[in-house]
Structure 1
Amino acid sequence: MPTFRITDCFGEQVTLQPRLGLYSVTDFMGQEMPGLAIILDRLGSTPEETEQYAVLTTSFGEFISIKDCAYIDTNNCYFAPELLEQGIAENTGLTKRSGFCEYPLWHFKEDFLREIGGDAYEKYSRSFHSYMQKGPFGGPGPVEEPKSQMGGMRMK
């Protein structure tokens, strides 16, 4: 299980261990789906001293149609750039604004999510793939039509 060292607001080094939970989110038609919740536990000298430190991700209650992505709670996780530098994710450049805060959308590496998530990640992944295959209205997802003589491709 990976661990991360960050500097807290007092300048002290803190060791964090991530684990994956799932948010309940809905698509634009109201279908419930799992969303990624990355919880960071502060490791103590014994397992009994380990406690939840922060939740790195934040949910706006909506389904994100890009697999392995979540908004980052930079409002409460000032140390998020330190985690990004450690290679767990890539910043997509997309953000969501809420009030005076802007939350970046990160794309997490699948091997990282599998390592910290186990069964929770498998549930998320199965649900995501099932949803994307059937399409948002219950029918088949996008299909490719044969290319025309002009060489173009259309999506149905």
Structure 2
Amino acid sequence: MVTVAPSECEASPTWAYALQLPHDPRAARIARVTLRAVLAGHDMSQLLDAAELLATELVTNAYRYSNGPATLRLRGVGRSRLRVSVWDANPYIPPPFDKRSGPVGIVPAEADRGRGLFLVCHYAEAWGGYPLGGDLSGAGGKLLWCEVGAPAGGWITR
């Protein structure tokens, strides 16, 4: 189910969409299709390449390291910035999203995992994570998020 909450203020338009994703290897593809439609609908297609990569990596991380469903949330911040958030039921917040570890290091070429969050940290303008739930047990899972914005020189036309 997709939901939207349009802004009341035209000067700084904000909106949010949430998409429930089952624990399914096709979830990242469905997230990308939804992201393309949302960004096109809000005339923000210039963010598509980076946003698609970031959303794919966060949704894939939720699928690989959680046993249940996930939720993708897309939120427009002003006219030129997008926040991508992914909730899953696993309470473990991986480095460096846990803010206790150092930066993500380069993954060895022979490794078959470990590049996704490195890409998020490299391409996102901001990123973070926090536990969800009312207690310290992490029963509510976690939320990982990142933001991408328009290039510093303004919009790039294709």
**TM-score, normalization: structure 1?**
0.28
Structure number with the bigger relative contact order (C-alpha 8 A, sep ≥ 6) is: 2
**TM-score, normalization: structure 2?**
0.28
